[in-house]
Structure 1
């Protein structure tokens, strides 16, 4: 595995220094100041393949930039694009595959060993904690979809939003003094509705008979299900959301995830 970046080698070394064990994962590291021409020229990728002693046609490039995708294809390599610019995937169409985030990378598609950490259609994550008062959303959850979400403020949870790629997640929700419930949650722009801002929309998997706007909601996010996606019809969207519910409900009964139901942070104000 090689790291080939347009950044100067010293900058790469500096950034990797803060992530213990990362440098040792790469057999080859090349900076933009070590080649004559950076991306979109293929030179840096061809040099990486040479140092790995691998034919370019046997290499898979994972890129977040348009110049990087262009460089990889020009080098005769297969390219998976992970767009760094939200809602701009149409700029990356020369890639062999476009994925929402590295959470969605399937190496087995490219003849590489399959990741072993998926469990019953879910990817375990280091727990993340967010919370705040329940706010009014777009009103479409209950009225259009028949799926009442308990939205949280994007502004108050901006760090969480910036750290988590858009997609469907799940975990546990503590609501005021009512109790702790299973939940499945959408993070992102909801392509079917073409949101202009990234939102957090948890669905508490319990039948409530009244609204609870303003009540304190605390979440522990423990796993990932799938990337967000667009759908040709509202019916297809609703069906997929209900399938997400089934996946989350089943997964949260596993000891791997069920242990977080008793997390004390679900029972206290953040």
Structure 2
């Protein structure tokens, strides 16, 4: 399938904005390790599940999850993941509202059996924050979920999605939602 042109309305159109808060869960670990594009996986709640699969854009903010100590969980592949619940993030990481792109779907390149929602926060963090809470607002749709013949093609498209999202979120009617998460 060829990547379709991204058409962005002047303002978010229904069903957007979609605002929610979720705890970050473990995913497959491929975003960071294989693609160099880390993602925060969140549960696919009904509102997200009703959206077409594809790539979305919006804003998000990280909050430490009330937890006394670090815990460990297992990824679907059996690998242990340290959950620090966001307690290692600096104040700037926690006080900033970040632009994001979100993938909702089956990740056909990886042949997933489970639908996933993965948020790439457009920032470089010094540590992971599995188990933290993530408040987000989805403002629109970039493109449908696509399959790729190479990992390089997938990475190139994700980088284009990030660039498109950054440009859209600079527009006044989209930028104002950043302040709703402060």
Q: TM-score, normalised by structure 2?
A: 0.75
Matched, 1:217 2:107: no
Structure 2 alignment gaps of length 5 or more:
64-93
Q: CA deviation at 1:119?
A: 2.9
Shift of 1:133: 1.2
Q: Secondary structure at the match of 1:160?
A: helix
Q: How many residues align?
A: 148
For each residue in 1:193-232, what CA deviation from the matched residue of structure 2 results, as whole angstroms up to 9, or x when unmatched?
1111111000000110100111110110001100000011
1:141 aligns with 31
Match of 1:129 in 2: 19
Measure the CA separation in 2 of the matches of 1:244 and 1:220.
17
| Partners of 1:162 and 1:149 in 2: CA distance | 18
Q: Matched residue of 1:235: which SS?
A: helix
Hey, what's the Cα distance between the residues in 2 that align with 1:226 and 1:192?
Answer: 16
Aligned residue among 103, 118, 126 for 1:201 = 118
Checking the alignment, whether the CA contact within 8 Å between 2:109 and 2:147 is kept in structure 1 is yes
Point out where structure 1 has 5 or more consecutive residues left out of the alignment: 1-97, 99-103, 107-117
CA distance change for structure 1 residues 133 and 230 in 2, over 3 Å: closer, same or farther?
same
- Structure 1 vs Structure 2 CA RMSD: 2.3
From 223, 245, 254, the equivalent of 2:171 is 254
CA–CA distance in structure 2, aligned partners of residues 187 and 162 of structure 1: 8
Q: Displacement, 1:123?
A: 8.5
Give the number of the structure whose alpha-carbon radius of gyration is greater. Answer: 1
Q: Which has the higher contact order (CA 8 A, sep 6+)?
A: 2
**SS of 1:151's equivalent?**
strand
Q: Distance in 2 between matches of 1:236 and 1:227?
A: 15
When you count strand as a share of all residues, which structure comes out higher? 2
2:51 to 148, 164, 172: 164
Per the TM alignment, residue 190 of structure 1 is displaced from its structure 2 partner at its CA by 0.8
TM-superposition CA deviations, 1:13-60 (whole Å, max 9, x none) = xxxxxxxxxxxxxxxxxxxxxxxxxxxxxxxxxxxxxxxxxxxxxxxx
Q: In the alignment, is the contact (CA less than 8 A) between 2:61 and 2:136 conserved in 1? A: yes
Q: Offset of 1:161 from its aligned partner?
A: 2.8
Evaluate the alpha carbon distance shift between residue 140 and residue 188 of structure 1 in structure 2; reply closer, same or farther with a 3 A threshold.
Answer: same
Contact 2:11–2:174 (8 Å) recurs in 1? no
8 Å CA contact retained: 1:130, 1:160: no
2:62 is aligned to 175
Counterpart of 1:232 (choices 146, 149, 153) is: 149
Q: Distance in 2 between matches of 1:147 and 1:220?
A: 20
